[in-house]
């Protein structure tokens, strides 16, 4: 019987003899080791020793019979992941195109405010609010502008205009007459690396206010921080000029 145990189902010369159906070698109807065993004694699991001596194609077939449910499940899952990924990409592309179209159509203060409300949390909403804040600032409505600049910054995290919104809030607060609060906001922006060049501008304005209050040492530190800022640009020259003025 040891010879019959190792015969596979794919070749006529290897067909199992007197084992009932071909499913017998897969542990479904009769024992490979003992074809005369009773139904209660027949094993339901194929052991590694049952693969010994089988040809490659029979090993593959046997593996498929033992694991087909698991394999099919993996295939279905893989297709679900692929389909889901493409569906998500299609959705986001369609959504982005829709948002871009809505943003372009938001050509009034009210429409921009509504657009920002409907799309809160994304940079496009922040840009719409930033434009509205600028309109309020130009109209000398500084207290209102400060609030809208603040809202804009909350939607612009991680993009260059983030610092622009922070600085806009600080300057609006300053213009509304709240000098002490404005200095705190300017100091916060000056220390914020994510504000990029706007951090240098904030430090410069802070230095000007400190110098006007007679806080020469603090002003000097603010101007020096501008010179140390790699994104300072034109503010570096202005800060250097102020430092020369202080030294005289």
Other CB atoms closer than 10 Å to residue 161's CB: what's the count?
18
Burial classification of residue 231, based on how many CB atoms lie within 10 Å of its CB (0-12 exposed, 13-18 middle, 19 or more buried):
middle
Q: Note the pLDDT of residue 25.
A: 25
The residue with greater pLDDT, 97 or 16, is 97
Contact 113, 128 (CB under 8 A): yes
Return the minimum-mean-pLDDT range out of 28-32, 97-101, 223-227: 28-32
Q: Which fold has domain 108-247?
A: 1.25.40
pLDDT digits (tens, 9 = 90+) for 138-192: 999 999 999 999 999 999 988 889 999 999 999 999 999 999 999 999 999 999 9
Please state whether the predicted TM-score (pTM) of the whole model is above 0.75: no
Model confidence over 51-66: pLDDT tens digits? Answer: 556 666 666 666 666 6
Can you give the pLDDT at residue 177? 95
| Confidence at residue 53, expressed as pLDDT on a 0 to 100 scale | 61
| Ordered DSSP codes for 63-132 | HHHHHHHHHHHHHHHHHHHHHHHHHHHHHHHHHHHHHHHHHHH--SHHHHHHHHHHTTTSHHHHHHHHHH
Share of the chain above pLDDT 90, in %: 52
Category of 74 on φ-ψ map: left (φ > 0), alpha (ψ -120 to 50) or beta:
alpha
Q: Which of 94, 135, 137 is nearest to 113 (CA)?
A: 135
Judged against a pLDDT cut of 70, whether residue 28 lies above it is answered with no
Name the residue ranges covered by the structural domains of the chain.
2-80, 108-247
Cα 192 from Cα 210, distance rounded (Å): 19
At 247 the pLDDT is 84
Q: How far does Cα 211 stand from its chain's mean position?
A: 43
């Amino acid at each position: 019987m040891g010879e019959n145990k190792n015969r596979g189902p794919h070749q006529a010369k290897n067909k199992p003899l007197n084992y009932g159906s071909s499913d017998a070698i897969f542990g479904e109807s009769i024992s490979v080791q003992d074809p005369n065993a009773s139904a209660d004694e027949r094993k339901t699991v194929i052991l590694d020793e049952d693969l010994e001596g089988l040809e490659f194609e029979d090993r593959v077939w046997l593996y498929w019979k033992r694991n087909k449910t698991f394999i099919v499940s993996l295939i279905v899952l893989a297709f679900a992941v692929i389909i889901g990924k493409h569906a998500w990409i299609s959705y986001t592309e369609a959504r982005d195109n829709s948002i871009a179209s809505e943003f372009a159509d938001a050509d009034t203060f009210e429409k921009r405010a509504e657009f920002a409300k409907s799309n809160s949390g994304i940079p496009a909403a922040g840009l719409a609010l930033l434009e509205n804040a600028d309109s309020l600032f130009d109209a000398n409505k500084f207290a209102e502008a400060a609030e809208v600049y603040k809202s804009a910054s909350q939607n612009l995290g991680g993009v260059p205009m983030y610092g622009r919104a922070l600085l806009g809030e600080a300057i609006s607060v300053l213009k509304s007459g709240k000098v002490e609060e404005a200095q705190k906001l300017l100091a916060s922006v000056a220390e914020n690396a994510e504000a990029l060049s706007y951090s240098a501008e904030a430090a410069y304005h802070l230095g000007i206010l400190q110098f006007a209050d007679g806080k020469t040492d603090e002003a000097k530190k603010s101007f020096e921080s501008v010179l140390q800022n790699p994104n300072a640009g034109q503010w570096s020259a202005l800060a250097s000029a102020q430092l020369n003025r202080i030294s005289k």
